[in-house]
Structure 1
Amino acid sequence: MPVSASPWQPSRRQILGGALGSLVGVAVLPHSARAAAAATYDVVVVGSGAAGMTAALTAAKRGLSVLVVEKAAKFGGSAARSGAGIWLPNNSVILAAGVPDTPAKAATYLDAVVGSGVPADRKAAFLAKGPEMLDFVMANSPSRFIWMEGYSDYYPEKAGGLPGGRSIEPKMFDGNLLGAEKANLNPAYIPTPSGVTIYSHEYRWLNIVAVSATGAAVSAQTVARWTQAKLEGKDPMTMGQALAGGLRVGLMQANVPVWLSSPLTALLHDASGRVTGVTVTRNGAATTVNATRGVIVCSGGFEHNAAMRSTYQQHPIGTAWTVGASSNTGDGILAGIAAGAKVSLMEDSWWGPAIPLPDEPYFCLAERTLPGGFIVNQQGRRFVNEAAPYSDVVHVMYEKNGTAPDIPSWLIIDQNYRNRYLFKDLAPTFPFPDSWYASGALKKAWTIPELADQIGVPRSNFWNTYTRFNWFATTGKDTDFKRGDSVYDHYFTDPGIKPNSCLAPLLVPPFYAFKIVPGDLGTKGGMETDARARVLNGAGQVIPGLYAAGNCSSAVMGHSYAGAGSTIGPAMTFGYIAAKDI
């Protein structure tokens, strides 16, 4: 069934008959157009990220034959590259740690954050099945998890919000369990330094290791953890590497094959419109795989598809600022559209401020929150709470870009900041690389007026912003943008700074300015699904045999972001729900 056109919903003809369709070449083929089937499984899962591997593991453990097909030469997708935070209310890990969560609190909070834009039954399904999914994964793989203690929900002041947070992350995983498959694991976005084993929630302390006793103690602990693991003959992995590795071992134990370098080229359907399998390119040849029970598409978003981003998203936009897996070019979404799927949230992404460094964009978490820095637009004025949830910061960038341009913006710091804090993976006091300056991502000057000239903003505006921010730092109160009013604002800060750990004056030259652009962890829009993860068509009807989870589906978080891991938690949960439904 064709999809009706709208500002965010081009027709199937527009997409598949135009530049987007020709770019990736996906389509839906009737039986009459197929070659002879090369294989038959009960379930075919497209994509080997957190959603796909959870779905495959669930289906296999329910007694079904399962195949995972993966476009990339490595498994793990964006999840393997990530910090692997997982936002999952009321799960057994946080309850055992004493987190005071309840189903009522979680439902109240999710409603407050997401609003009415997402169907109530989808939100309820996520909250109800998330804890069940986690227990299933732990029972059927070597994956274990810990609470990210103190990593606040992103809006802890809202009804049902928890200042201590609901997010979890994988415990250390022994990479040796993967055997030869270890070579096929998608590498981390920022590799862990040699000789240490770090958890995602520990970076907050490593950022301030030079000025914090707790930071120094945590740093020593990361070394001791690595040393102990090595003495035990282990290959210690954490974060996304641990998540993807643990799930992959679960698939190995369940005898689920994973075909790498096998991109989806078509969804297959019968005369009634039921999706019955896929065609992939394998070893250079078109290969047909029948799926007698259904196909679960978990192929990621479209962040690396320039044509799709240009069609659906606000400008300026492109593919150079995302940190999502390079294989995420929307193939599964386009195949779904060809099958009649309705898509939504295509204009949105899992946004975050990024610095366009010459090798790859750097997604800013702590750097924009630590005291002694502020962000200005092209008029030299602040326009946002720099410590707000990262998705909110970019939403504001786009909302205000039409009036006072703030794409790009500039993060301003001084030498005192550089002397105190880790920046990306650079230790305090170390000079920034020459390549950062040469690329235009970084400017430096010895006075504030000179820095204004370097970044092309009015001197008077910039000076007024600078002096006003320093006054806020002295008083501890940001009356313009309320930086520090939320508990969340203080997560990536320096508790040694008083009276507000988010605010410190910029006084010590030289001064630095980092270019800030709208980065993302991946796109957020995709095929609309129901509470059972079944894909819906333009009339709101189920497309038989077709399921979706993860970033190729429209996010249960809507336009918001409840807490750390709001991508992976729902992705794994709806992968689990899809397989159980099948």
Structure 2
Amino acid sequence: MDAVSDPALTPGPTSPESARGPVRPAGFSRRAVLRGAAYAGGGLLSTGLFSGLATPAFAAAEYDVVVVGSGAAGMTAALRAAKRGLSTVVIEKAPTFGGSAARSGAGVWIPNNQVILAAGVPDSPAKAAAYLSAVVGGDVPAARQNAFLSNGPAMISFVVGNSPLRFRWMEGYSDYYPELYGGMPNGRSIEPAMLDGNLLGAELARLNPSYIPVPAGLVIYSAEYKWLNIAAVNARGVAVAAEAAARGVAASLAGQVPLTMGQALAGGLRAGLAAANVPVLLNTPLVDLAVESGRVVGVVATQNGTNTTIRARRGVVVAAGGFERNAGMRAEFQAQPIGTSWTVGARENTGDGIEAGEEIGAALALMDDSWWGPAIPLPDQAYFCLAERTLPGSIMVNQAGQRFVNEAAPYSDVVHVMYERNAVSPHIPAWMIVDQNYRNRYLFRDIAPLLPFPDSWYDSGAVFKASTIQGLAAKIGVPGAALASTVSRFNGFALRGRDADFGRGDSAYDHYFTDPGVIPNSCLAALWLPPFYAFKIVPGDLGTKGGMVTDASARVLRANGAVIPGLYAAGNSSAAVMGHSYTGSGATLGPAMTFGYVAANHIADNPPA
């Protein structure tokens, strides 16, 4: 196949989920058009239903706080605002709640939180500040970095105290740059403990589904997948699988509906909102921000096909996710090739909140970047590669058949390299090459060792198979001699236990998703047993990381640094506090929840004049 002309790398016709916004007459902003429609009938409209655990008629068109988005950032903001005594509503575009958070593994990166300190993790504010500063550099003001670090632990304590959520330390899941001062080789990340879905009542049916469902009968935590991947060749993997099965049996006997990872995180926050009497209005997309005398005073949203104004006496928090499903915005702001089908973000994340803020003067930043990760464009959905590219016996090559990166590096870094190199020579798609020995030993996505891959994977062009390296090269359109030379060189590194080209295995992080039974380097194993497989690798992501520029209080800023009164942003609707980098597992959700919490506190502490 000619990878350069591969139709899978050419975005197709714009679909409803990826449309950037309505067509507007020249000279008119989108906001002006939609505001005209919203106010055409005069007065405030309130014709929807609200989707709480009970479903009374929508009874209010005015609240102290309106939160846009029911992901982790939005629900944390709403919960905190309600507990500060403010009347609060959440509006959500989707027919489900939870957004991308519900689809995720739900790692949460918060230094010095009560969970890791209780577990004996030797963290300190000084270590965390030094590490974050080293990773982020000058991309993000120190005041925002400090706001995240100083409020994160309090946020976790608040959530634990005001929802059924409890957390576990993801022991061993290294910070992504543990060799930097303040980095933690054993990790700072936490994840939700199991939550009984029965707590949600009828709302359980409205929880956004997981990206990849947990196998039936098992109760698995995100930190355990590394062991399940190698259960066929590792005694601890077998023990973890048995423990997950035992938990599943215990939950079934107790009549529980066990939720873990993102399902637990979103479900726990939603249960907290229900207990605090915060309505969550599903099927209620944001249309516009309502502005009076330069201040944001509410939102215009669509309910039952009608534009409705919901006023906010104190503030609006936009936490509506990024723009990963918006083909127009991705084409405008991000490098090519790019596509809306390679992301695992929620399908409703089309940048509505970012656009609404931009149209009233919000500055934007980091719009070229995403929470990248190598992905395989499987026919059902893109598969975000974590362990697969790190396990020994795999390499990644460009279209010249050459390695170009440490395959075990943090996933965002790998895609940054793909784009940087692609500007010079074809690196998109890249190819991940493995052999049958690799397939005999390791789980791949949810395909057990030894089992064949689905025919649809081959038919779609996402996977190729051949009895020789030369034959595999011919199928994927790379030079056979170059690929054979690359494999031979890598096999020599595996034998000696050191990757002299890219340092795979030099960092403690590189060894997280590996096989401790492989020596002398758990990251490196030769590719020698036919048949050989090639997986197409494209720039996937967990979501975009660019958005509205905010200050240390989560207030949205104009390009000149002035605050837009009444408007706050958190999560992927705001420019990430991580800048162009990524500190560790959960560096998306940790700051998202923290700045939702910060926004609610600022609103409560600063009533408008």
- TM bucket (normalised to shorter chain) is over 0.9
1:145-180: CA deviation from partner (whole Å, max 9, x where unpaired) = 000000000000011100000000000000000000
- Map 1:540-555; keep pairs closer than 5 Å: 540-555=561-576
1:421-453: CA deviation from partner (whole Å, max 9, x where unpaired) = 000000000001100000000011000111111
- Map 1:352-391; keep pairs closer than 5 Å: 352-391=373-412
- Partners of 1:19 and 1:307 within 8 A in 2: no
Structure-2 separation of matches of 1:336 and 1:55: 18
Q: CA deviation at 1:17?
A: 6.7
Structure-2 separation of matches of 1:252 and 1:459: 60
- Partners of 2:167 and 2:192 within 8 A in 1: yes
Q: CA deviation at 1:538?
A: 1.4
- Residue 36 in 1 paired to residue 57 in 2? no
- Residue 459 in 1 paired to residue 480 in 2? yes
Residue 476 of structure 1 aligns with an amino acid whose one-letter code is: G
- Residue 139 in 1 paired to residue 147 in 2? no
- Residue 423 in 1 paired to residue 431 in 2? no
Residue 188 of structure 2 aligns with an amino acid whose one-letter code is: R
Structure-2 separation of matches of 1:494 and 1:192: 22
- Map 1:297-376; keep pairs closer than 5 Å: 297-376=318-397
Residue 355 of structure 1 aligns with an amino acid whose one-letter code is: I
CA separation of 1:26 and 1:211: change in aligned 2, threshold 3 A: farther
Q: CA deviation at 1:404?
A: 2.3
Alignment-derived partner of residue 553 in structure 2:
532
- Residue 258 in 1 paired to residue 280 in 2? yes
Counterpart secondary structure, 1:112: helix
CA separation of 1:336 and 1:505: change in aligned 2, threshold 3 A: same
Counterpart secondary structure, 1:86: coil
Counterpart secondary structure, 1:362: strand
Counterpart secondary structure, 1:44: strand
Counterpart secondary structure, 1:432: coil
CA separation of 1:429 and 1:242: change in aligned 2, threshold 3 A: same
Q: 1:237 aligns with which of 259, 277, 286?
A: 259
The two structures have a TM-score, normalised by structure 2, of: 0.91
1:466-519: CA deviation from partner (whole Å, max 9, x where unpaired) = 100000000000000000000000000000000000000011100000000000
CA separation of 1:97 and 1:373: change in aligned 2, threshold 3 A: same
Counterpart secondary structure, 2:417: helix
CA separation of 1:470 and 1:27: change in aligned 2, threshold 3 A: farther
- Partners of 1:31 and 1:269 within 8 A in 2: no
- Residue 578 in 1 paired to residue 599 in 2? yes
Structure-1 separation of matches of 2:38 and 2:543: 32
CA separation of 1:546 and 1:384: change in aligned 2, threshold 3 A: same
Q: CA deviation at 1:185?
A: 0.2
Residue 514 of structure 1 aligns with an amino acid whose one-letter code is: F
Q: CA deviation at 1:36?
A: 2.2
Q: CA deviation at 1:23?
A: 12
CA separation of 1:89 and 1:426: change in aligned 2, threshold 3 A: same
Structure-2 separation of matches of 1:449 and 1:85: 41
Structure-2 separation of matches of 1:16 and 1:118: 35
- Map 1:269-284; keep pairs closer than 5 Å: 269-270=291-292, 272-284=293-305
- Partners of 2:38 and 2:308 within 8 A in 1: no
1:519-557: CA deviation from partner (whole Å, max 9, x where unpaired) = 000000000000000000111100000000000100000
Alignment-derived partner of residue 518 in structure 2:
497
Q: 1:152 aligns with which of 167, 174, 182?
A: 174
Residue 196 of structure 2 aligns with an amino acid whose one-letter code is: D
- Partners of 1:442 and 1:513 within 8 A in 2: yes
Q: How many residues align?
A: 570
- Partners of 1:470 and 1:504 within 8 A in 2: yes
1:339-372: CA deviation from partner (whole Å, max 9, x where unpaired) = 1100000000000000000010000000000000
Structure-1 separation of matches of 2:146 and 2:365: 19
Counterpart secondary structure, 1:73: coil
Alignment-derived partner of residue 70 in structure 1:
92
Q: 1:53 aligns with which of 51, 66, 75?
A: 75
1:99-132: CA deviation from partner (whole Å, max 9, x where unpaired) = 0000000000000000011000000000000000
Q: CA deviation at 1:286?
A: 1.2
- Partners of 1:46 and 1:70 within 8 A in 2: yes
Residue 562 of structure 1 aligns with an amino acid whose one-letter code is: T
Alignment-derived partner of residue 294 in structure 1:
315
- Partners of 1:45 and 1:297 within 8 A in 2: yes
- Residue 204 in 1 paired to residue 226 in 2? yes
CA separation of 1:24 and 1:173: change in aligned 2, threshold 3 A: farther
- Partners of 1:28 and 1:269 within 8 A in 2: no
Structure-2 separation of matches of 1:15 and 1:543: 26
- Partners of 1:452 and 1:459 within 8 A in 2: yes
Alignment-derived partner of residue 5 in structure 2:
none
- Partners of 1:29 and 1:266 within 8 A in 2: no
Unpaired runs of at least 5, structure 1? 1-12
Residue 351 of structure 2 aligns with an amino acid whose one-letter code is: G
CA separation of 1:267 and 1:33: change in aligned 2, threshold 3 A: farther
- Partners of 1:80 and 1:241 within 8 A in 2: yes
Structure-1 separation of matches of 2:405 and 2:244: 35
Alignment-derived partner of residue 183 in structure 1:
205
Alignment-derived partner of residue 145 in structure 2:
123
Alignment-derived partner of residue 55 in structure 2:
none
Structure-2 separation of matches of 1:403 and 1:86: 36
Counterpart secondary structure, 1:289: strand
Alignment-derived partner of residue 6 in structure 1:
none
- Partners of 2:31 and 2:356 within 8 A in 1: no
- Residue 514 in 1 paired to residue 535 in 2? yes
- Partners of 1:302 and 1:522 within 8 A in 2: yes
Structure-2 separation of matches of 1:530 and 1:28: 31
Q: CA deviation at 1:35?
A: 3.5
Residue 503 of structure 1 aligns with an amino acid whose one-letter code is: L
Q: CA deviation at 1:32?
A: 9.3
Alignment-derived partner of residue 236 in structure 2:
214
Structure-1 separation of matches of 2:31 and 2:441: 47
Unpaired runs of at least 5, structure 2? 1-20, 47-60, 604-609
Residue 443 of structure 1 aligns with an amino acid whose one-letter code is: F
Structure-1 separation of matches of 2:405 and 2:376: 17
CA separation of 1:441 and 1:115: change in aligned 2, threshold 3 A: same
Structure-1 separation of matches of 2:42 and 2:91: 18
Structure-2 separation of matches of 1:209 and 1:554: 39
Cα RMSD of the aligned pairs, angstroms, is 2.0
Counterpart secondary structure, 2:64: strand
Alignment-derived partner of residue 557 in structure 1:
578
- Partners of 2:38 and 2:307 within 8 A in 1: no
Residue 76 of structure 1 aligns with an amino acid whose one-letter code is: G
Q: CA deviation at 1:232?
A: 1.6
Residue 560 of structure 2 aligns with an amino acid whose one-letter code is: A
1:53-91: CA deviation from partner (whole Å, max 9, x where unpaired) = 000000000001000000000000000000000000000
1:361-403: CA deviation from partner (whole Å, max 9, x where unpaired) = 0000000000000000000000000000000000000000022
Counterpart secondary structure, 1:555: coil
The two structures have a TM-score, normalised by structure 1, of: 0.95
Counterpart secondary structure, 1:516: strand
Structure-1 separation of matches of 2:31 and 2:483: 44
Residue 181 of structure 1 aligns with an amino acid whose one-letter code is: E
Residue 425 of structure 1 aligns with an amino acid whose one-letter code is: D
CA separation of 1:380 and 1:34: change in aligned 2, threshold 3 A: farther
- Residue 407 in 1 paired to residue 390 in 2? no
Structure-2 separation of matches of 1:344 and 1:358: 33
Fraction of identical pairs, as percent:
67
